Amino acid sequence: MRLSNHHIQSCFLTALLSFVMPLMLIGIVLASSFMVPCLLGLVQMGHQAFDFVITILSTFGDGHPLNGSLVIATAFSFVGTLFYICTPYHQNYSPST
């Protein structure tokens, strides 16, 4: 199977989007847990949620939340790229019923 420019660009775009989406989701969760105490007055719940997310990210990042975010995003990017690479194989070589 010959790879064209279209396939390479599409694979790169898949890897990039698979990397950016978890970072955006982590940012939204952190921002919302930070803003809940300001808007709704649920101070204790907002601080607990923020600390919980930071603790999880620190676990994945050897004590650093930013490294944890990058590890998670890299893993998602790798899996997304594998899905992209394996999908044409599955579509082209699946047995017909």
pLDDT at 45: 84
What predicted TM-score, i.e. pTM, was given to this entire model?
Answer: 0.79
- Assign 61 to helix, strand or coil: coil
pLDDT, tens digit only, all 97 positions of the chain = 566 788 888 889 999 999 999 999 999 999 988 888 777 778 888 888 889 999 999 999 889 999 999 999 999 999 999 998 887 655 555 555 5
* CA–CA separation, 69 and 54 (whole Å): 10
* CA–CA separation, 2 and 17 (whole Å): 24
pLDDT at 90: 53
